[in-house]
């Protein structure tokens, strides 16, 4: 009997992750993040991320095997993210995957990172059903897809400028709140006591467009904040002029504008395609206010159901890579030792 155990490897950005998944059940999912090293730069530094992967990947692999109580001999398939992502970072995971595949004589499969995010909700007990509208929202991607099957995706809309997570990160930088921006903005926004005063408008991309734009609201925050003198540097130190309450109000208004755009487009896409399920994936899905808005809207449209990944699978992780890899393998997909840092299964 062929071994059902899949080893997943993820190194597309700043998380080094290895996971063992057996028939849809996650036995281990070890994630080591270099986020602390990027903090002072206000964003991911590709060279630092790449070096971190090289340094930690074998330790992460050992811990994943140990956590699952398995050895290399138990593995039946190696799945690895091969894009999109930072090329230098991706190559570490791909090299490890190829080495294991070659030395242990195991089949290898390259997995698209964006589709893997959308597949994270398939790790839930209640699985989404194809076809569905998929919304990938992370630091690098914002895309609405019509997903007909595990290997058939059509692009419905995407951001014309910043990704949602990127907008969070940039606004946090403007406000001097540090990196990554998503969690801290969510926390500050929840403290706002001034929720009726919407400070920033939503971008309008045209009635039937499913594209997004977040740079307008980000720039509106910049000018608002500059008007208050916040974030200006005096002798190298950030000078704060806005009170904490005021910063919370800015975070709240920014977050409402951005999330409303995302929710509206996702439901509009489901309506246009006549599908029941909306599936979300990517780092921004860790946001509780986003979830609240989607569930509220789903209650309004009775015939829609919304699927979020479990919180532990929102950010980059190898479990989603292993799970999708196994599903593609079952469909007959294979990679070979020429696998490069380029995503396969491009959207049409």
Q: How far is the CB of 106 from ligand KG4 (least distance, A)?
A: 26
27 vs 320 by CB, closer to Zn ion? 320
**Which of 251, 280, 19 is CA-nearest to residue 143?**
280
37 vs 106 by CB, closer to ligand KG4? 37
Rounded Cα distance between 57 and 53, Å, is 5
Three-class SS state of 22: strand
Q: How far is the CB of 259 from ligand KG4 (least distance, A)?
A: 9
128 vs 182 by CB, closer to ligand KG4? 182
Binding partner of residue 8 among ligand KG4, Zn ion, none, CB cut-off 5 to 8 Å per kind = none
38 vs 70 by CB, closer to Zn ion? 38
CA max distance for the chain? 68
Is 10 among the residues that bind Zn ion (CB under 5 A)?
A: no
Rounded Cα distance between 266 and 86, Å, is 27
231 vs 282 by CB, closer to ligand KG4? 282
Binding partner of residue 286 among ligand KG4, Zn ion, none, CB cut-off 5 to 8 Å per kind = ligand KG4
Q: How far is the CB of 284 from ligand KG4 (least distance, A)?
A: 4
Q: How far is the CB of 97 from ligand KG4 (least distance, A)?
A: 19
Binding partner of residue 309 among ligand KG4, Zn ion, none, CB cut-off 5 to 8 Å per kind = none
| CA gyration radius, the chain | 21
Three-class SS state of 8: strand
Q: Measure CA of the first residue to CA of the last residue in the chain; give whole Å.
A: 36
Distances (CA, A) of 317 to 32, 123, 236, 294: 9, 12, 37, 23
Rounded Cα distance between 324 and 118, Å, is 9
Q: Spell out a b/e string for 135-172, using b for 16 or more CB atoms within 10 Å of the CB, else e.
A: bbbbbbbbbbbbbeebbebeebbbbebbbbbbbbbbbb
- Residues 130-169 as x/- pattern, contact with Zn ion by CB under 5 A: --------x-------------------------------
Residue 136, CA atoms < 13 Å, CB-side half-sphere? 27
Binding partner of residue 183 among ligand KG4, Zn ion, none, CB cut-off 5 to 8 Å per kind = ligand KG4
Q: How far is the CB of 139 from Zn ion (least distance, A)?
A: 7
For residue 195, the tally of other CB atoms under 10 A from its CB is: 11
282 vs 325 by CB, closer to ligand KG4? 282
Interacting residues toward ligand KG4 by CB under 6 A = 13, 138-140, 165-166, 168-169, 180-183, 186, 282-284, 286-287, 315-316
List of residues contacting Zn ion (CB under 5 A): 138, 316
């Amino acid at each position: 009997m062929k071994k059902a155990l899949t080893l997943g490897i993820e190194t597309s950005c700043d998380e080094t992750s290895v996971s063992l998944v057996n028939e849809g059940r996650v036995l281990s999912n070890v994630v080591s993040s270099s986020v602390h090293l990027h903090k002072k730069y206000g964003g991911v530094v590709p060279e630092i991320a790449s070096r971190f992967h090289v340094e930690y990947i074998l330790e992460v692999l050992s811990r994943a095997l140990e956590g699952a109580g398995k050895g290399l001999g138990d593995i039946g398939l190696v799945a690895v993210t091969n894009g999109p992502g930072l090329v230098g970072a991706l190559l570490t995971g791909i090299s490890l995957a190829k080495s294991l595949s070659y030395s242990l004589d195991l089949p290898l499969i390259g997995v698209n990172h964006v589709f893997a995010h959308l597949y994270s909700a398939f790790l839930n007990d209640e699985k989404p059903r194809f076809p569905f509208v998929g919304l990938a929202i992370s630091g690098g991607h914002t895309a609405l897809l019509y997903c007909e099957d595990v290997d058939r995706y059509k692009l419905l809309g995407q951001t014309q400028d910043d990704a949602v997570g990127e907008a969070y990160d940039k606004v946090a930088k403007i406000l001097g709140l540090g990196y990554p921006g998503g969690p801290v903005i969510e926390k500050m926004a929840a403290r706002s006591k001034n929720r009726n005063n919407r400070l920033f408008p939503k971008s309008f991309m045209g009635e039937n467009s499913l594209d997004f734009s977040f740079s307008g609201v980000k720039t509106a925050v910049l000018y608002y904040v500059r008007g208050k003198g916040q974030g200006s540097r005096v002798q190298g130190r950030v000078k704060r002029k806005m009170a904490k309450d005021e910063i919370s109000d800015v975070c709240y208004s920014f977050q409402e504008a951005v999330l409303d755009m995302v929710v509206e487009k996702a439901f509009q896409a489901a309506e246009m395609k006549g599908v029941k399920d909306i599936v979300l994936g990517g780092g921004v899905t860790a946001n509780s206010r986003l979830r609240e808005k989607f569930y509220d809207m789903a209650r309004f449209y009775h015939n829609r159901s919304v699927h979020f990944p479990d919180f532990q699978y929102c950010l980059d992780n190898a479990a989603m890579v292993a799970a999708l890899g196994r599903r593609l393998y079952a469909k007959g997909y294979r990679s070979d030792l020429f696998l490069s840092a380029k995503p396969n299964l491009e959207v049409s």
